[in-house]
Chains A and B, each alone.
Chain A
Amino acid sequence: MRVLVIGSDGLSPILVEKWIETLPALRKIKKQGIMGRTIPPLPAQTPVAWTTFMTGVNPGKHGIFSFMTREKGTYKRKVNTPDKIKTKTLWKILSEHDKKVGVINVPMARTEELNGFIIPGFLAKNEGIPYPTKIKEKLQGKFGIKQFKGDVEIKLLERVKEEPDKFFERVDEITDIQMDISLFLLEEEEWDFFITVFMGTDRIQHFFWKYVDERHPEYEKNEFTEKVKRYYQKMDVIISRFLENIDLEETLFILLSDHGFCPVHSEVLVNCLLHKQGFLKGDVKGEIDVEGSVAVAYEYGDVWLNLKGREPQGKIKPEEYGEILQKIKKNLEKIEVDGQKVVKYVATRDVYWGPYVEEAPDLIILFNSGWQASRGKSKEYKTQKCIVKSEKWNGGHDGTHDPRDVPGILAILGHGIPEGLEVEANLYDLTPTILKILQVPIPNYMDGKPIQQIFTS
């Protein structure tokens, strides 16, 4: 048996369901195979989610809790790049069992010695540089490129509002190149496991979600609705191209996304709330006094306490820790705007298990769909209003939201797969599932379990 995985970052099962009549490949999978959902980890952020997928464990074991976290024993923020992942990747395990692998543009997948090849993805140091060199030369020979980055350039992302057409065009272009490269390597290389992850769906939806989700208070159907839909149709064509190029008798086909999306209309300045509640104070320069405050929040609603013995200038005694944690949690959970609750709940580190739990934030605020922690204004704490309209983005998943409010998609087609079945799986179930299909032993430390429905016949 072989396994082919097509990833689509942020592909939403809600939109697939809504547009299924215009998506023939997905309609076929729904009828002849499994169509279901993946539940992302907490937080449902791209780097955390893909790492969870590729390691088969929760963040307490792989150590990636967000884009950025605090470096232990300091107030310094570090970017969680792939070199900081603490557990083995699916493709490493497969390589060690002499399976041939091909890995293209998976976020958080870095160059490593494999029995096969890799083109590292988003956040990897060598993003887009094929490894080993043999693959680089092949791509250069065929397409004339030394590097493939599967993401839209910053310049275009900064001007999406002003020049939406240019943005959509570039996303299409990158998607086409990735499809060509992937199909070429699929044909050219030997593989037991092959994965390629497309980023377009995520980038598009952050900016254009309000045109496709009726739940958004500013929902508006216009040309952008059509543009997003057209991109879903493009992904559907890509899926059909891959299906044409494999033999379903001997290859299992999996389509998955790391999370879906929910509406975002307002942003919460968490530090402004902490300031009003007396947990945060400013310094003489008018900036947040991280060392002098009881608690500070960052871009994703992650709250960090200033604990004696842990932080260099700790303010809270260890015996006060639990009480203060609960106080902040209660205060945040109370917040309402026009009778609507802003915060769904505030999670503590108890949601994680494993050796790296203490690298997690002390609290993670899970916002109700519609709200998210402010990114651009996360350092503002003195403003009158702590909740403002979201200007840049109108769709989200990582702000932080309840993983169950932003599920990803999971579609499976292949020999012996039950027809018309709906399945829900945690993202960390995928690695054990794929190992089992390829008859490689599942390591004991893994949190995920193989998706049973696949193995019924």
Chain B
Amino acid sequence: MTEEKTKSKNFTSILIPTSLYKKLEEKVKETEFSSVSSLVTHIIREYLAKLEEEKEVFSEEEEEEIKERLRALGYID
């Protein structure tokens, strides 16, 4: 498989306002990222990770539930 084909299979394009793109183009110079694309990929990954992390925080009620389970297991008193 050629480089090109691999690329087209693993990447896709999204549309963002040109003004925003210009801003990012400036910003990218101050970062370790080599292009706007890799900076945007990073931002999106961070965003998705944050969403997942928020889902993982326990509510008071859920914390009580897990305490119940640990009690039943004999792990806590």
A interface with B by C-beta (< 8 Å): 67-68, 78-79, 81-83, 110-113, 123-126, 131, 154, 157-158, 298-299, 375-379, 392-393
Closest 6 CB pairs of A and B: A113-B49, A154-B72, A378-B77, A83-B56, A113-B48, A110-B56
Q: With contacts A111-B52, A112-B52 known, is A68 near B58, CB below 8 A?
A: no
Contact assessment for B56 and A82 in the assembled complex, using a CB-CB cutoff below 8 Å: yes
Contacts of A392 on B, CB cut-off 8 Å?
74
Q: Does B55 contact A125, Cβ atoms closer than 8 Å?
A: yes
B contacts with A, residue count (CB < 8 A): 22
A interface majority secondary structure: loop
Would you give the 0/1 interface string for B52-77, flagging 1 where the beta carbon is closer than 8 Å to chain A?
11011110001100110110111111
A67-B76, A113-B48, A113-B52 known; 18 new pairs, CB 8 Å cut-off, are A67-B70, A68-B76, A79-B58, A79-B63, A79-B66, A81-B56, A81-B66, A83-B53, A111-B55, A112-B56, A154-B72, A157-B72, A158-B72, A299-B75, A375-B74, A375-B76, A392-B74, A393-B74
B45 at the binding interface (Cβ < 8 Å): yes
Judging by beta carbons under 8 Å apart, are B56 and A78 in contact?
no
Q: How far is the CA of A125 from the CA of B53 in the complex (A)?
A: 11
Known: A112-B53, A113-B49. A83 touches B58 (CB 8 A): yes
* Among A125, A376, A378: residue with most chain B CB under 10 A: A125
Contact B73 A157 (CB under 8 A): yes
Q: Is the CB of B62 within 8 A of A125?
A: yes
With A111-B56, A113-B49, A113-B52 as known contacts, state yes or no: A379 contacts B77, CB within 8 Å.
Answer: yes
B58 contacts which chain A residues (CB < 8 A)? 79, 81, 83, 125
Quote the shortest CB–CB distance from B55 to chain A (angstroms): 7
> What A residues does B72 contact at CB under 8 A?
154, 157-158
* B70–A125 touching, CB < 8 Å: no
Q: Do A126 and B56 have beta carbons less than 8 Å apart?
A: yes
Is B45 a contact partner of A376 (Cβ separation < 8 A)?
Answer: no
How far apart sit A113 and B48, CA to CA, in the bound complex (Å)?
6
Q: Which residue of A lies closest to B49 (CB)?
A: A113
